[in-house]
Amino acid sequence: MYGATVGRIGVLGIPATVNQACFVIHPNVYISLKFLYFWFQGFRDELIKLATGAGQPNVSGVKILSLILAAPLNFKEQTAIANFLDRETLRIDALVEEKKRFIELLKEKRQSLISHAVTKGLDPAVKMKDSGVEWLGEVPKHWLMSYLKFVTHKIIDTEHKTAPFYENGEYHVVRTSDVKNGKLIYASAKYTNHEVYLEWTARGRPEAGDILFTREAPAGEACVVPANSHICLGQRMVLFKVNHKKYWHPSFLSLHFLQLQLL
């Protein structure tokens, strides 16, 4: 068992062969197959800790054979425990899938809400006009129609290379994973030093009120650069410097980018 696959387990239902990354276990008459299956699932975290090696950590067969297993002596009791876990894990898995579907529905509702608000407004009785854009449809009659290039004074694509990261760096290198649901996320932020920051912002520095946009992996996420941010663009990022002399509020403009995800 190697790398990210350390500790995974499955039960063969057909004759098969395995490669060098797998370890085959054939239980004897004293242990229930299903009980052993759940035992390995229950202690996967501990198995991962046994892995050694820098490039591709692995658990050796010697370590697997040296594991100490605790189990009821009564085979029927082992089977009863395994059957119980079968039922309960299936029930929990079904609940997880139900929650995932509910979350997806909420995401769809959120996206639909944004799309409707930034293209129709809040007044259901407002007079509408044809936008002339097929995917946009009708918009409120009194709204301004404008090309994006007229409400931004500069569009800056990222450097097409990865900025070097430094553990003690003070400048946030914004990657596509750092922009989600209209916000700049810092949970897994990577940082760089002042020298790299100057190189990566030579064409323009992100400022409060600018818009960060992900052009791939995933495409279509956007957020407004918050105040007091010291950031530069990571790979696959685009910066829109908003023309504040126009009538467009940066937050409203960034919502327009988010609603484009429906297309």
CA–CA dist 120, 16 (Å, integer): 59
Average pLDDT score over residue span 164-180: 94
* 4-61 per-position pLDDT tens digit: 578 788 888 888 888 878 888 888 888 999 999 999 899 888 888 888 876 677 888 8
* Weakest-pLDDT range from 79-88, 145-154, 166-175: 145-154
Mean pLDDT of the chain: 86
CA distances from 49 to 54, 57, 58, 64, 260 (A): 13, 10, 10, 12, 44
Q: Write out the DSSP string of 107-165.
A: HHHHHHHHHHHHHH-S-TT--EEE-S-TTT-EEETTS----HHHHEEEEEEPPSSPPPP
The pLDDT of residue 83 = 96
Closest to 164 in 3D by CA, of 232, 237, 238, 236? 232
The answer to whether 58 and 27 are in contact (CB under 8 A) is no
Residue 136: pLDDT band with limits 50, 70, 90: confident
pTM of the model: 0.59
Whether pLDDT at 139 is above 50: yes
* Burial of residue 189 (number of CB atoms within 10 Å: 0-12, 13-18, 19+): middle
Residues 133-162: what's their mean pLDDT?
A: 85
Q: What is the mean pLDDT of residues 212-235?
A: 90
pLDDT surpassing 50 at residue 154: yes
Q: Label residue 262 by pLDDT band (50, 70, 90).
A: very low
In the chain, which residues fall in CATH 3.90.220.20? 146-262
Pick the CATH number of 146-262 from 3.55.40.20, 3.40.920.10, 3.90.220.20, 3.10.105.10: 3.90.220.20
